[in-house]
Amino acid sequence: MVSLNKASKPDMADLSKDHYVTTVVEDHETACWGCGLRLLLPSYSPIFKCGWCGAITNQNERKCEDKCFWWRRVRDRCFVCVLLSFMLFVICGGLWAAYPVIFSIGNFCGIIHSIIAVILSTTTVSMFSLAAFRFAGAPPVRQWGSYPVVGKGFLENHTFCHYCSKPKSPRTHHCRSCGKCILDMDHHCPFIGNCVGAENHRHFIAFLISAVISTIYVSIMSAYAAMHVWPTLPHRSLGYLNGMSSYVAWRILKEAVIAFLRSTLFLSPRGLVLVYLLFASVSVGIGLSVLLWQQLCYIYRGTTYLSHLSDQGGDDVGEKDCNNLFRFFGCPYSVSRLLPSARNSPKRHKK
């Protein structure tokens, strides 16, 4: 009995040990969409990069049916028509309402302002037309699907677009409103009914700059013309208000507002158009100025709006430099050549 118990002790010790369960990973065979080579991958890797051509495959990505494509196209066309109608109304209404007053000052002054108006109108409408009706930018054409054709690293970091059924370069995004892949896509603007990409980004920025300058000019000219066509303000005598106090100041302001509102009843159609042009140009100019500043900030950082959204929460990989602005507008001279002393000057440290 004693020997039997001694023999059973090692078995109990073995049972008390921890047991580790290991899982067997089953590999599965798949094909790279870029070069067609067969790859053996673990089952838990839905996203993989081909070691030969460099193409990235996402097995979980599938084409989704877009039921709102037709509605977005109609919306974009309506926005373009409304914006074109507004620009034509501002041009024609401004010429009809403001320029008789300007020509009454002098023919030379009227001719100068007419030339300025023609230049601003032509530039704004032409830049808008180029940004709206020019294709935003097509990605480079790549051959894919066959190993003898696709070379080493030929599709580096390219993904496959299930909507267009073709390779998509790293700087390309598919716009579901346009139904196309856009190179260097910044955003889809419904007001121009088109994407802002590599081919029309400069025209879009030029349109914003021209539109902001035009709204400032229209605001100044409409305010100046409205002052000349505004009827005389009816007012009452304020002689009964003696002294200076908050009550007196409030009464004066109240009487001025009432007189201004009464004078609008006698305003001519020309004056009504001028008032509308003033408020419309100021409000539109503020909105366009904010959009232009945002776009210039993205260009200064060397990124786009979509890249900024994808990089949120991470490190800013864009290099902030004024050379980005010069390169964007096609300037042949860099900031370092324009300002060599600012870059080469030694740094001084305070003791």
Q: Cα separation of 57 and 160, whole Å?
A: 7
> Which listed residue (189, 297, 322, 331) is catalytic?
189
Q: Where is 150: in which H helix or E strand?
A: none
Output b/e per residue, 213-229; b: 16+ Cβ within 10 A.
bbbebbbebbbebbeeb
Q: Cα separation of 30 and 36, whole Å?
A: 9
Return the sign of the alpha-carbon dihedral for residues 163, 164, 165, 167: negative
Q: Helices 269-301 and 201-229, interaxial angle, to 10°?
A: 150
Full DSSP string of 16-83: HS-----PPPPEEEEE-TTT--EEEEETT-SEEE-TTT--EEETT------SSHHHHHHHHHHHHHHH
| 175 part of the active site | no
Structure tokens at 343: 């870059």
Write the burial class of residue 270 (CB in 10 Å: 0-12 exposed, 13-18 middle, 19+ buried).
middle
Q: Which amino acid is at 127?
A: M
The residues annotated as belonging to the active site are 189
